[in-house]
Amino acid sequence: MPAENCKRKIVRQIQHMAQSRIIKNPRFLDDEQLLNSEQQNVLEEIFNANVRDVEIKELSSHFAGIFRGNHPYHLAIWGKTGTGKTLSVAYFLNILSSLCTDKNIPLLHKHLDLTNRGPCFRALNDLACLLDASKRYERGISHEEMMRNIERKLSDFKGYLILFIDEVDNISHDRDIFLAFLIRRLPQRIPSKLILILVSNKLSWPDQLDPRIKSFFKNQELVFKPYDALDLQKILSIRIEKALYKNSTEQGVIEKIAAIASRDHGDARKAVSLLGKSAYLAEKAGSKITLNIIDKASSELETDRYLTLLRTAPQQFQAAMAAVIEASKKTKKNFIGSGEAYDSYKHFCNRVGLRMLTDRVFGDLLAELDLACLIHSRIVSRGRYGRSREIRIDMPYELIQNIYNTIAESLGIQAKEEN
């Protein structure tokens, strides 16, 4: 009888494992790994599902003038991250470009991606490299020279030139110089019909521009609204169909992921990565994707985000976070003031052997921590007892501990390397 039991158990396990395979093609759960052709495929389906229909239509009408020989204006686009700006525009430009080839209209389009934050010089250099007008420089060459390189390279192209500039607001320094070059100077010096598409994810972006530059974009704006839950559901079901085996999701899973993602930011990328994480957890647990698993995946993603953020952050940033954690452990209140935090930071630096910075910089570090949602701070006046930041950490104890250990590890390892 025991032998019989054992056999049955194994059979059950095998059956179970066979059932529990739910991931068919993991690449469709991770945008980074998606091959180009697959990405095209997914895009095609998304657009066929009428998601981003309005925006594509707007783009079409904006550029329709090309076929009548007109010169369309520059276009400013904004929308939050993960609303499909880049993909939609790239997709559209490809179609436009092949259409122009058919009709024998010379058109060149380039995609300049400024995702990595850098100064004006970097942006110019990136553009020059993209156009194959210059080699890569770190520094040592003037803006002027870089601009001339670009102009020289473009001096004999006479068709339409569309420059699609992604994440413009990422230019950290002298952004106006870069834009003024593109908008005012470049068109006068090259024969082609230049059309700029500037993309940004900050809604307030145009307000910080030089008014003379801003005027070039009046009424030529296109806003990508965040995906609503319905759009996200469409996007998710496309992914699920490609990535997972049939029947591997419980009732309501798509709706729930879509709801979580749209509540946060309407970010499609987040929705997909939540789906991915859920799928992996489900496979590990040998079950379908259930609503509970989604919750777990969501909190794990959050933790991961914090930890990788810290691991890759500068030492001083880590130290500031550690100091805040230490200080808030000591205090009996449920918040700490910036003075206390700075004292704690000084102790921490002494202990770890890290050079300590002035309180001025420390204040900026605190602001950054706040921005990253690692701490919450607000400025409070305690009357006679001065003004101060009131800092609190709004996280479960376990996560705080986890973060603290990560920092300790990261700083500890670096100290070893120095010796």
Partner DNA sequence: TGTCCACAGGAAATACGGGGGT
Partner DNA sequence: ACCCCCGTATTTCCTGTGGACA
The residues that touch DNA, with contacts defined as CB under 7 A, are 118-121, 137-143, 172-174, 314, 316, 337-339, 357-361, 363, 366-367, 379, 381-389
Minimum distance from CB of 122 to DNA (Å)? Answer: 7
Q: Which is nearer to DNA, 167 or 231 (by Cβ)? A: 167
Q: Which is nearer to DNA, 74 or 122 (by Cβ)? A: 122
Dihedral pair phi/psi, residue 250, rounded to 5°: -75, 165
Q: Which is nearer to DNA, 366 or 400 (by Cβ)? A: 366
Q: What is the largest CA-CA distance in the chain?
A: 91
Q: Which is nearer to DNA, 236 or 320 (by Cβ)? A: 320
Minimum distance from CB of 129 to DNA (Å)? Answer: 13
Q: Which is nearer to DNA, 65 or 386 (by Cβ)? A: 386
Minimum distance from CB of 14 to DNA (Å)? Answer: 55
Closest residue by Cα to residue 112 from 169, 167, 182, 31:
167
Q: Which is nearer to DNA, 71 or 152 (by Cβ)? A: 152
The count of other CB atoms within 10 Å of the CB of residue 388 is 17
Minimum distance from CB of 66 to DNA (Å)? Answer: 34
Minimum distance from CB of 339 to DNA (Å)? Answer: 2
Minimum distance from CB of 54 to DNA (Å)? Answer: 37
